[in-house]
Amino acid sequence: MSVPPPPDPIAGARLLFSLDPAVSHLNHGSFGAVPIVAQRAQQRLRDEMEADPLRFFTQGLVDRVAHARRHLAGFLGADPDGAALTTNATTGVAVVLQSLGLRPGDEVLTTDHGYGAVEFSVHRECRRTGATHRVLPVPLAATAEEIVQLVRSGLRPGRTRLLVVDQLTSATAKLFPVAAIVGVAREHGVSVLVDAAHAPGMLPATVRSIGADFWVGNLHKWGYAPRGTAILAVAPQWRERIEPLVVSWEQEAGFPGRLEWQATADYTPWLSAPVGLYTLRTLGVDQVRAHNAALAAYGQRVLGDALGVPPADLPAPGGPSVAMRIVPLPAGLASTVDAARALQTRIAERLATQVAITSWNGRGWLRLCGQVYNSAEEYDRLAVRLPALLDQR
Q: SS3 sequence, the chain?
A: CCCCCCCCCCCCHHHHECCCCCCEECCHHHHCCCEHHHHHHHHHHHHHHHHCHHHHHHCCHHHHHHHHHHHHHHHHCCCHHHEEEECCHHHHHHHHHHHCCCCCCCEEEEECCCCHHHHHHHHHHHHHHCCEEEEECCCCCCCHHHHHHHHHHHCCCCCEEEEEEECECCCCCCECCHHHHHHHHHHCCCEEEEECCCCCCCCCCCHHHHCCCEEEEECCCCCCCCCCCEEEEECHHHHHHCCCCCCCCCHHHCCCHHHHCCCCCCCHHHHHHHHHHHHHHHHCHHHHHHHHHHHHHHHHHHHHHHCCCCHHHCCCCCCCCCCEEEEECCCCCCCCHHHHHHHHHHHHHHHCEECEEEEECCEEEEEEECCCCCCHHHHHHHHHHHHHHHHCC
Mean pLDDT, rounded, for 174-200: 97
For residue 106, is it left (φ>0), alpha (ψ between -120 and 50) or beta?
Answer: beta
Return the CA Rg of the chain. 21
Residue-averaged pLDDT of the chain: 96
Which of the four pLDDT bands, split at 50, 70 and 90, describes residue 1? low
252 has pLDDT over 60: yes
Of 207-216, 268-277, 318-327, the least confident: 318-327
Which of the four pLDDT bands, split at 50, 70 and 90, describes residue 317? low
Round to whole Å and give the CA distance between 295 and 313. 19
Q: What is the pLDDT of residue 392?
A: 87
Q: What is the pLDDT of residue 80?
A: 96
Round to whole Å and give the CA distance between 119 and 135. 10
Q: Note whether 233 and 103 are within 8 A (CB).
A: no
Q: What is the pLDDT of residue 316?
A: 76
All domains in the chain, ordered by first residue: 38-278 (3.40.640.10), 285-391 (3.90.1150.170)
Which of the four pLDDT bands, split at 50, 70 and 90, describes residue 318? low
Round to whole Å and give the CA distance between 209 and 212. 9
Mean pLDDT, rounded, for 363-372: 97
175 has pLDDT over 80: yes
Mean pLDDT, rounded, for 215-244: 97
Mean pLDDT, rounded, for 49-78: 97
Between strands 324-328 and 363-369, the pairing is antiparallel
Mean pLDDT, rounded, for 169-176: 95
Q: Cis ω on the peptide bond leading into residue 328 (within 30° of 0)?
A: no
Mean pLDDT, rounded, for 381-392: 96
Which of the four pLDDT bands, split at 50, 70 and 90, describes residue 321? confident
Q: pLDDT per residue over 3-51, tens digit each?
A: 788 999 999 999 999 999 999 999 999 999 999 999 999 999 999 999 9
Class of residue 297 by CB neighbours under 10 A (exposed 0-12, middle 13-18, buried 19+) = buried
Mean pLDDT, rounded, for 345-357: 98
Round to whole Å and give the CA distance between 348 and 342. 10
Which of the four pLDDT bands, split at 50, 70 and 90, describes residue 393? low
Class of residue 313 by CB neighbours under 10 A (exposed 0-12, middle 13-18, buried 19+) = exposed
Round to whole Å and give the CA distance between 147 and 176. 8
129 has pLDDT over 60: yes
Mean pLDDT, rounded, for 94-119: 97
Which of the four pLDDT bands, split at 50, 70 and 90, describes residue 346? very high
**Phi then psi dihedrals of residue 106, to 5 deg:** -75, 155
114 has pLDDT over 70: yes
Mean pLDDT, rounded, for 88-115: 97
Q: Which residues partner with 109 through β-bridges?
A: 134, 163
